Amino acid sequence: MVPFQCPYCGVGCGLLWVEGRVRGDKNHTATKGELCQKPLYYPKVMKKGRLLKPMFRDSKEEPFREIDWDTAYEILTRKLKSLSEEELYFYISGQLMTEDIYVINKFVKGFLKTNNIDANSRLCMATPVSAYKLAFGSDGPPCTYEDLEDADTFVFAGSNALWTHPVLFKRILKRKLEGESINIVVIDPVRTETAKRADLHIQLRADTDTVLFNAVLYILYKEGLINHSFVENYVEGFEEAIREALKYPPELASRICQIPEGQIYQFAELFAHSKKLISLWCQGLNQSSQGVIKNLALINLHLATGRLNERGCPFALTGQPNAMGGREMGYLSNGLPGYRDVRREEDRTFMEDFWRIPRGSIKPKPGHTITEAIDLILEDRIKLLWIVCTNPAITLPNLQKVWKAFEKVFLVVQDAYWNDTCQFANLLLPAAQMGEKEGTMTGSDRTVSYCGKFTEPPGEAKPDWFIFTELAKRMGYGEHFSYSSSGEVFEELKKTTEGRLCDLSSLSYQDLPRRWGSRWLYEGLEFPTKSGKSKMHPTPYNHKPADFILITGRTKNQWHTMTRTGKSSELLKGEEEPYLLMNPEDAHELGIVEGDYVEILSNRVSVRLKVKFGDIKRRHLFAPFGYGFAYECLINTLTRDLTDPISKEPELKFTSVSIRVRRFVSYELKE
């Protein structure tokens, strides 16, 4: 019986490997044995489609040839030494274990001396991280899952949690079904399965969340429902935020959001009078060119009404199993371990001394984000791209530009599976995955779980931390990378967090799972800001016109680009083909019948999809993004690489598209 954490969403469900089967771990402090169906089929997909040996080709027109690991390290050493630090780029993943992330980040920022490293959290959690820092002075969710047990109002904004974070949503729904007086609000242009369970579904126009939240703040202010005592003692920036909110009276917000004015008042009543209100949000708020503003507008409501700790919490739901661990280790282009930042001299100095490298080794300027890196590759300024445990050939926006960059650059892909990105690679490195190595992961509520090893990796696959450790030794950094186990890595990395908000220093593999921080991260309402107070921000709205608005997302049983889940016939059942969700009234106007295949056009690109009718706001469309090259339906060819100016997170939840009505026959899945 081996404990581990679920390798899918960020809930961080504790699991057990028992004689080749997966069970929920009832002793896990965060999730108490609950799990959804996705990990149940993990044993069946672990060995399917795996990378088994290092493979290389000089030219992308050539076939791959198998090489040994020594040859792979020689190629990498030669490449890394022949290029300048600014010509290198690394793109890693929130699916890696914390030990993997720490070693890679140390190697890149400390020893290659470049901050050109980013992670796929740039596509999901960069926005709430930025908002948390602006509002509270630091990253980290202010509450925990315990707060789901005594709250009476739950707001799900841009989150279909019943599909994406099912264990959490069912925990709330169970209380409601048992007769407790629970209010569930869902803010979404689609009447999702989550929305169908809501007491109030605010079916607003996509990207107008800021207007809604400002209008609620307007009502609270005008009707004397602000918690002035809380604001006076613990908040700054109130007046500036109110001045902006007063531009959005409910009657105007109703027109912009395309919702009944009464719903705005209902929503405001809940913020004013609930016993305890938890806001939970996901990519519907985050993946936007106005994402940080949306996050801050929602956090403003919590601060204006004193809804922290025993009265509530703004809780951003993490998308990946270890995005929290990656944030703790500073794996975005500006980060350093222990919630540190390369822009702060004291943070750089601490890490340089800790890593025993010369002062000035860590650059003070953040590296480029992944979308910026794509442009730099096309400009021939980045010449080597190393991708670890993610599939950006499907997930990044404006994919046709991404593919051109991947064709141009020397590309290293390090992964457990053959995925869509591999076909652009020069060098493939086989990696061990969950259950084939040991390490730690941190779930959404700051609970750190130990992930044990219960089977050997296939072929010549190696743990990610081990691959980078071996390379560092060959490049002359052996005394700094002398790890013989992941446990040794953990003992080192946890020291970087001592005395920090995300303090892991007292943890050991033997006493996990354990949560860092108290139940409430800011229990005494003291914040790591210059003033010691939290901060409200003015949140202006920028309107974007559109003919049809395309929203992207996930299907119920698939996760990300289906690298694992798509290999399960049980999970794929009913989701074998991508689709376009459409309002029946819009379809009728265009002469479209359910089941027709139509073309969606944007960005000088078209994608063919089968129409499925659903309760989605008029002039809105929804399509899942995770279907890869085999399906001839790459949704992110339609999306643009417009990003939020603060978080640099791409806009994937609002694309203006048009529809070409043509009759198609179904297509067969490519082998």
Kindly state the percentage of the chain with pLDDT values over 70.
99
**Strand duo 620-624 + 534-535: pairing:** unpaired
DSSP element (H, E) containing 352: helix 345-355
Which pLDDT does position 666 carry in this prediction? 52
Q: What is the pTM for the complete model shown?
A: 0.97
Per-residue pLDDT for 383 more than 70?
A: yes
Four-residue CA torsion sign, 471, 474, 477, 479: positive
Q: In the numeric block, which tokens belong to residue 212?
A: 């809604």
**8 A C-beta contact, residue 334 and residue 122:** no
As a whole number of angstroms, the distance between CA 90 and CA 88 comes to: 7
What's the mean pLDDT in 111-125? 97
**First CA to last CA distance, the chain:** 37
Per-residue pLDDT for 664 more than 60?
A: no
> Largest Cα–Cα distance of the chain, in whole Å?
71
15-36 pLDDT per residue, tens = 999 999 999 999 999 999 999 9
As a whole number of angstroms, the distance between CA 500 and CA 506 comes to: 12
Beta bridge partners of 656: 549
> Burial level of 359, CB count in 10 A (0-12/13-18/19+)?
exposed
Which pLDDT does position 141 carry in this prediction? 95
**8 A C-beta contact, residue 76 and residue 469:** no
Q: In the numeric block, which tokens belong to residue 565?
A: 């889940």
- Spans of all domains in the chain: 49-123+327-434+455-512, 126-316, 548-660
Four-residue CA torsion sign, 448, 453, 459, 465: positive
Which pLDDT does position 459 carry in this prediction? 98
Which pLDDT does position 241 carry in this prediction? 98
pLDDT band (50, 70, 90) for residue 632: confident
Question: Considering only CA atoms, which of 603, 499, 522, 439 is closest in space to residue 141?
Answer: 522
CB burial string 419-438: b at 16+ within 10 A, e below: bbbbebbbbbbbbbbbbbbb
Per-residue pLDDT for 663 more than 70?
A: no
255-298 pLDDT per residue, tens = 999 999 999 999 999 999 999 999 999 999 999 999 999 999 99
DSSP element (H, E) containing 451: strand 447-451
Q: Return the number of other C-beta atoms located less than 10 Å from residue 99's C-beta.
A: 29
Angle CA 463–336–426, to nearest 5: 45
- SS3 state at 542: coil
514-550 pLDDT per residue, tens = 999 999 999 999 999 999 999 999 999 999 999 999 9
- SS3 state at 454: coil
408-447 pLDDT per residue, tens = 999 999 999 999 999 999 999 999 999 999 999 999 999 9
> Burial level of 559, CB count in 10 A (0-12/13-18/19+)?
buried
Per-residue pLDDT for 669 more than 80?
A: no
Which pLDDT does position 667 carry in this prediction? 47
Which pLDDT does position 671 carry in this prediction? 46
What's the mean pLDDT in 233-243? 98
As a whole number of angstroms, the distance between CA 186 and CA 196 comes to: 9
- Per CATH, the number for 548-660 is 2.40.40.20
Q: In the numeric block, which tokens belong to residue 170?
A: 């069912």
The gap from C-alpha 170 to its chain's centroid, in whole angstroms, comes to: 21
Four-residue CA torsion sign, 183, 188, 189, 195: negative
Per-residue pLDDT for 50 more than 90?
A: yes
**8 A C-beta contact, residue 630 and residue 537:** no
Q: In the numeric block, which tokens belong to residue 350?
A: 């601490």
pLDDT band (50, 70, 90) for residue 228: very high
**8 A C-beta contact, residue 53 and residue 459:** yes
Q: In the numeric block, which tokens belong to residue 400?
A: 């046709």
Angle CA 288–369–331, to nearest 5: 105
As a whole number of angstroms, the distance between CA 431 and CA 44 comes to: 18
Which pLDDT does position 670 carry in this prediction? 52
**8 A C-beta contact, residue 395 and residue 120:** yes
Please tell me the number of Cα atoms within 13 Å of 12 on its side-chain side.
Answer: 28
The number of residues in the chain equals 671
- Per CATH, the number for 49-123+327-434+455-512 is 3.40.50.740
Per-residue pLDDT for 668 more than 90?
A: no
pLDDT band (50, 70, 90) for residue 661: confident
Question: Considering only CA atoms, which of 631, 611, 632 is closest in space to residue 623?
Answer: 611
Considering only residues 618 and 664, tell me which one the structure prediction assigns the higher pLDDT. 618
As a whole number of angstroms, the distance between CA 315 and CA 369 comes to: 25
- Phi, then psi, of 636 in degrees rounded to 5: -75, 5
Angle CA 618–622–626, to nearest 5: 175
- Superfamily of domain covering 126-316: Dimethylsulfoxide Reductase, domain 2 (3.40.228.10)
**8 A C-beta contact, residue 16 and residue 27:** no
As a whole number of angstroms, the distance between CA 244 and CA 225 comes to: 17
Amino acid at 250: P
451-483 pLDDT per residue, tens = 999 999 999 999 999 999 999 999 999 999 999
Please provide the DSSP assignment of 607-619 as one string: EEEEEEE-SB-TT
The gap from C-alpha 545 to its chain's centroid, in whole angstroms, comes to: 27
As a whole number of angstroms, the distance between CA 161 and CA 158 comes to: 9
What's the mean pLDDT in 201-215? 98
As a whole number, the mean pLDDT across the chain is 96
Q: Tell me how far CA of residue 602 lies from CA of 398, 466, 662, in angstroms.
A: 10, 43, 16
Angle CA 47–49–54, to nearest 5: 95
119-171 pLDDT per residue, tens = 999 999 999 999 999 999 999 999 999 999 999 999 999 999 999 999 999 99
Radius of gyration of the chain (CA): 24
What's the mean pLDDT in 609-631? 96
